[in-house]
Amino acid sequence: MLSYLFLGVIAAYLIGSVSALILNKKDRSCTYASFLSASIASILGIVFSFSVLSGKNFEFTAASDLPLTYGLFVDKLSAFFILVISITAFAVSIYSIGYVREYYGKKNIGYLGFLYNIFILSMILVVSANNVVMFLIVWELMSIISYLLVLFEHENKEARKAGFIYIVMTHIGTGFIILSLMILAGSSGSFNFNTFNAAAAALSPGLKDAVFIFALIGFGTKAGIVPLHIWLPYAHPAAPSNVSALMSGVMIKTAIFMLIRVFYDFLGADVAWWGMLVLILASVSALLGVLYALMEHDMKRLLAYHSVENIGIILIGVGVSMIFMASGHPTLAAFGLIAGLYHTINHAVFKSLLFMGAGSLVYATHTKNIEDYGGLIKKMPWTALFFLIGSISICALPPFNGFVSEWLIFQAQLSSIYLSDNITKMLILFSGAGLALTSALAAACFVKAFGVSFLALPRSEHARHSKEAPVPMLIGMGILSLMCIVLGVLPFYFIRIFDSISSPLVGVSVSSMINSDLSMATISAFPATISTAAIAVLVFVVIPLPVIMYLLLKRTPEPKYETWGCGQPISTGRNEYTATAFSKPFRMWFAGLFRPRREIQTTYSDSSFFKGGVRFESQIEPIFEKYLYDPIIWVVVNVSRFMRIIQTGYLQTYLLYILITLVISLIYVGSGG
């Protein structure tokens, strides 16, 4: 049964990709064929993943003439990530049916549909691969396809720049991934992942540390941890919004999957400083991600920086878990890992929802600039509602899903009081303070994003004449909005699923130890309790009931007047608070980080006493590009120029190089090296 389901998933995505190419001259037919096939494949993927999560593992191997087997293996960890991919892909595929109408007559829909289906399939194969060769093939396929999707609007200069930065960074990461996996393969004498745990146990401490560092850099680049994150704010805004939802919602999670696989399954997560390093990088990523998001007025770049933030939050849970694991507290380690896994699916749901909401705004207004929005709640009420649900979820407010996972992570951090090492204890508690600050800044950021975009009056002609998004786009956003509520209101059901995933990795099952109030029964020091189901009843039933009764029973209509505009006869969008003004206090408080620079240009009318206009521009300094990547680029370029002297253009010189290399190799081998 599992084999048929998995083959059905692969077949449906392949049918969607092939039909997109066949029907590429007919935009409407191509749209329905490719994206409905992706929807069907996603449903099969959901059924398959639940079957594995509730039953036994799935394995498929195919022998070859080479000394290795090409295998697929889906355990509960892999099945969970297939579930995350499939849920998100289902909603985004339905959304795409309406979204791609914007490209009719302008772009090749068949090309987009082909890449879209192969992209999702490659992600599923990444989390299913069971040997190094198979994994690297599908990992590279995923990277190349996503690069082509970033370049879909290649006539745009920003898209070409984003694609270049993305492909360079992803291949640098792939290089470190190869080093990490090759060390394990060399020790085991096999490319199969199921031999790596025993091989890692036989490695020297230095080589184990090297595997950890190389994996952290390689997969951390794809995940977007600081300072390897620079491609995210370029690539995610450049891609079509449906693709951005998949890249931010699920593609970067494939890196989280492999980090968990390497750290726990291969290496055993038994070294304390590994967890401390992950925790430090995660906390910095979370805090810097939300700070840079606060400064953005491009809606999609703002959301991209929040991906950096939430990857940091996920890895905070993983890092705390690794510290507990190495310190001999497997129960607390399982609790931290469950919290990280919970935030993984939560982030996939609400971030994909927010990117789809941003896509709807771009679809209606033809701009990504928040300053050009305003008053859209009247023009796009359903989009506003769904975007509000996503905003509340990412701000970790109850009873929505983001609150549950961050609450669990906070409890895991507070559990550090059981550690004996004071330095480690203080590190985890400081990370908890950083997470609290991150959550507060995220709330401020989305007050800006939602308030400036949807409330008050329109600030541009595009916003003034905008219309609600097409029905398929609303259905796609509605599905993920419902998931935000379900994951927030019914956490205990999902915790049992996450426990079945973490228990093989940590060695302990803890679902029976977690109370219905989302706390560990073994921790008596924290008596605070909370019930998201009760909060949901309060928010959705008890509080609205008096308001509904009042609206139904009132008889006298309320008079309506123009908004007060400081004595002016008519209020316009020029009187409104801007996103720049909203974020200025944060820009001042963190001036040492942002290093803001502003430019004011004033023009005058005929008299020098009367100003004709004032142009204001404010920018922040890209410190990572300027102080980290620019010097590296300078060194690489200059070394490359110096090395050009060996490129003579003469065949005889190149033959001499080969001869010298052979002689050196023979001498080395002959000396027993």
Read off the pLDDT of residues 451-503 as tens digits, 9 standing for 90 and up: 999 998 888 888 888 899 999 999 999 999 999 999 998 888 888 899 999 99
Going by DSSP bridges, is the β-strand pair 69-74/611-619 parallel, antiparallel, or unpaired? unpaired
Structure confidence by residue, pLDDT tens digits, 562-580: 666 666 666 676 777 788 8
Single-letter residue type at 271: V
Mean pLDDT value across residues 52-73: 75
Three-state SS string across 65-118, please?
CCCCEEEEEECHHHHHHHHHHHHHHHHHHHHHHHHHHHHCCCCCHHHHHHHHHH
Q: Are 243 and 304 in contact (CB under 8 A)?
A: no
171-175, 288-292, 415-419: segment of lowest average pLDDT: 415-419
Structure confidence by residue, pLDDT tens digits, 251-283: 999 999 999 999 999 998 889 999 999 999 999
Each domain of the chain, given as residue ranges in start order, spans 272-549
- The reported pLDDT for the residue numbered 544 is 73
pTM over 0.85: yes
Q: Above pLDDT 70, what percent of the chain?
A: 90
- The reported pLDDT for the residue numbered 492 is 84
Q: Above pLDDT 90, what percent of the chain?
A: 58
Q: Does 341 or 513 have the greater pLDDT score?
A: 341
Q: Which residue has the tokens 């130890």?
A: 513
Mean pLDDT value across residues 185-213: 90
Q: Which residue has the tokens 């005889």?
A: 652
Cα separation, 552 vs 487, in Å, equals: 32
Q: Whole-number mean pLDDT of the chain?
A: 88
Structure confidence by residue, pLDDT tens digits, 608-647: 666 667 777 777 888 888 888 889 888 888 888 888 888 7
In this prediction, residue 138 has a pLDDT band, given cuts at 50, 70 and 90, of very high
Q: Which residue has the tokens 């809606």?
A: 299
Query: Does the structure show a pLDDT above 50 at 525?
Result: no
- State the distance between the two ends of the chain, measured CA to CA, in whole angstroms: 53
Cα separation, 280 vs 428, in Å, equals: 9
Q: How far is CA 81 from CA 53, 86, 87, 223, 269, in A?
A: 11, 8, 10, 14, 20
